[in-house]
Structure 1
Amino acid sequence: MMLSRWDSTSVVDLQQQIKAVADPVVARYEHYKNATATMLASVVSHFFNEMNQDKVLEVTQRVAKNVDQVPVNEQFLQKKFDTLAQFTQTIQESGLGLILEEDSDFFEFKYSEGLKPDTVEFMNKLAIALNACRICIGIEQIYSTILNNPHIKTEEYEHFRHEVNELTQKYYSGPSSDSDYGIYLRAYYQRALSIQVRLKEQHIKVNAWKEPFAEQMQRALAAICQAINGTGLKLIDATTAYPDKTWLGDGWRPFVIGLLSELVARYYSYAYVIGGALSLNPEYCVVLSTELSQFSLTMQDQMEHLKLAMLKDADIALGDLIRHIQGEAAVHQIILAPEERSGYYSSGNLYLLYPKPNGLAAQNRYSEVQYVCSDHGFQ
């Protein structure tokens, strides 16, 4: 009979295979986490400075309809936003009059009456910049959600080996001089059997999140590429929609290029001539797609084998402990109760333990998964 992969591949080998595809995804998450901080700092520096104080005050007084309204302080952007919803709420409640329409990923400034043209342009530019920051936060959150999906978490499987090792260490440290050896053996025997029961139950969970994980990965890949392309093109359009008004420029174009560079990890093209053409490099989405596809396929294919290999290691170590306790009981004519429950990996019929991917128990226990991205983007 052909051995299953989890029967012939060690935990270390499987972990190395998984790490090879996980590292690029972790690196993308770190990039977007750092990019978010960089972009927000850039927005604060470009918009919320002494030169623009009058414009900010004009807007906040117009939105609040209160001439005594104080201007918005840039500190509302100088914090860590844990979720996309938190950032969105912060912007909408800032008093700047930026609105996010339903089923839209982009803030808009719809106040114009009574405002100076330069102020309206200032706010439209700010909306563009904050939209880029918002999308960056959304991408960061998608990567975070992917990396925290229950399907790729192995802590509860690793815990069994740690628990068995701890029990074994305590057992071999021996009883105290005045303790009853029979009570000592029975206590450790019962604890070992209890772990053995939980080990068996753990097998049915190895694929409980596999199907939701696959669906989540498909949605994530589509949402990330759509967001990058859509926002990238809006940033490029913004460089021509608001051209420099002086020969030396007002810093708008370099500012936008800086945002774009962070959003696409410098995968863009720029013609270094006056008014040079700016364009996205389509290779970036190809790179992201490759990374996420390899990550998804490997996690779907290998994660179940890693979890089973971890359980196997724990069960083998537990079986050794149980046999030693049984041997000691036999030598000292001590009756252990209840009767021995044979180890799973020593039964000779390992494949009875392999969980069905779509098992009813798994479906009942794990039926939902939360996604960062909706059908409309990051709502």
Structure 2
Amino acid sequence: MSRGKDERPRAGRKGGAGGNADGAPARAPGKGLGKGPFNDPVKGRGKGRRGARGKGWDDAAPAGAPIDPAFADDDAPRIDSPGTAPDAAEAPRKPARKPGWAKPGRLRARARAQRRDAAAAQGAERAAGTDAAPQAQPQGDFLPVPIPPRPAATRAGEAALEQIRARALPGKGAEMARYHKTGRLCLGVANPDLDELARDWRARIEAEAEAAGRPALPDRLALAADLWDTGVFEARIAAAKLLTQARIRDDGDAWALILGWVPEFDGWAIADAVAGAAQRRLAADPSRIEALAPLVGSDHLWSRRAALVFTLPFAKTRHPGAGEAAARDLALGWAASMAPDPEWFIQKAVGWWLRTLSAHDPERVRAFIDAHGDAMKPFAVKEALRKLD
């Protein structure tokens, strides 16, 4: 017959005294009884906290039984009989921590945060024009690449940067710097705010150019170059958004400006923002893909990656024309040459490109994996075949 909840014998003290079948605490070392399916004093098992006397329970130990000397602890309070409380003076005391004590992991995290704060302060000084000397990115979490001093922005660029700064969220900048692992100044502005600012700048520039009877593109390129030259994380993304447009008349200067930014890529976020603008310029003129050929053999990781990410539109075309088909063949050849590349971001880009192509030309993707899959990382092969399995 099972006992009701109120009829069950109570557990003894945590850390050494449990209970026997009559409800009396058993004087045995081990774990105190806790909540769980095995909270049975007869069995002497439970999920309570570990006691001071040892491990496990002595199932047969009656109340008041002596403790096995092997489990005895001279510093632990003893309970000789039911209802007898331990002497407070004999209870062991937890050693006090020294002032300023912290776990080693917390110390390392604190040091990383200090390096990030120092990098953010240096970026703020560069953006304000008060620090003319080149500053090096902090070591550890960041790439040890020195950030060169940027030229002073024009009045329009400074005004645009202040508009970005006005949208910053308190504390968001340091969080973004940690997430992107960058020593670049992050203001903490959300991406939708940057989209809105870029639309407003384009509309204002076009309105002013139309009123003055001049083309709007040169002013837009100048503002994009100024924002890029500040070196601020959000300003560089906003510069790319200014040039992200499907149709731009006489866009040769825009394409040249985009290519000039590639060697300065230092992370995926800025690189992908610029890729959005580059993809539209390539879609407008597929023959421009030849200008990306030098990037394939570059020692710069993000330049090699750009050669694939920029050409993604050619993997999306359902019925490619002659120029698009030739561009697709060239990009696939680049992907094959990068298949043995050990860099994670390169492998991810190869898998991304093939996965995109698999929606329109699955047989070609399977043939690529058969030929080059052994040289690729397993996760990249899985990414490439994700829509085919």
Question: Which structure has more helix as a fraction of its residues?
Answer: 1
Query: Which of the pair has the greater relative contact order for Cα pairs under 8 Å at 6+ separation?
Result: 1
Q: Which structure is larger by alpha-carbon Rg, 1 or 2?
A: 2
Query: Which category describes the TM-score, using the shorter chain as reference length?
Result: under 0.3
What TM-score, normalized to structure 2? 0.24
